[in-house]
Structure 1
Amino acid sequence: MTRHPRLFSLPYFILGFLFTYLAIESVHETIWNVSTIALAALAAFDFGTALRLLFASKR
């Protein structure tokens, strides 16, 4: 049974949206705090991984 990379990209998209939401909610007075930047970095990593898995099957 083969595993499709597109199926594995879905949890990364969900986590990316979750971390983006949490980063938006963690902004109190300024965006330049550690928790907001860390959550945004995690979201960027998850979105990048999801896109890489989504387009991996075309190679």
Structure 2
Amino acid sequence: MRQSPLAAGVFYNILGIFFIFLAIQDVNANGFRFFNYVLILLATFDVGTGLRLMLLHFKVKNS
């Protein structure tokens, strides 16, 4: 079964917000380390992909 772009976009955005939360918590506890940069990179990719998928859903819906 295929997922709609909207559902996938929401999932990616939730995952990105979770990675942002983890990065903030780890920076507050231990300061900046390599792991924090990995979390920030993952969050950036997930939020970007989520927004792109959500925009695709609305573009297809309007056409």
Whole-angstrom distance in 2 between the partners of 1:46 and 1:23: 14
Whole-angstrom distance in 1 between the partners of 2:17 and 2:31: 21
The alpha carbon displacement at 1:4 in A equals: 2.2
Q: Indicate the residue corresponding to 1:6 in structure 2.
A: 6
Q: Paired residues, what number?
A: 58
TM-score of the two chains, using structure 2 as the length reference: 0.77
Q: CA RMSD in A?
A: 2.0
Instruction: Provide closer, same or farther for how the CA distance between residues 2 and 39 of structure 1 changes in structure 2, counting only shifts above 3 A.
Output: closer
More helix by share: 2
Whole-angstrom distance in 2 between the partners of 1:14 and 1:30: 24
- Per-residue deviation, residues 3-50 of structure 1 (Å, max 9, x unmatched): 42111111111111110000011114533x101100000000000000
Q: Which runs of 5+ in 1 are unaligned?
A: none
TM-score of the two chains, using structure 1 as the length reference: 0.82
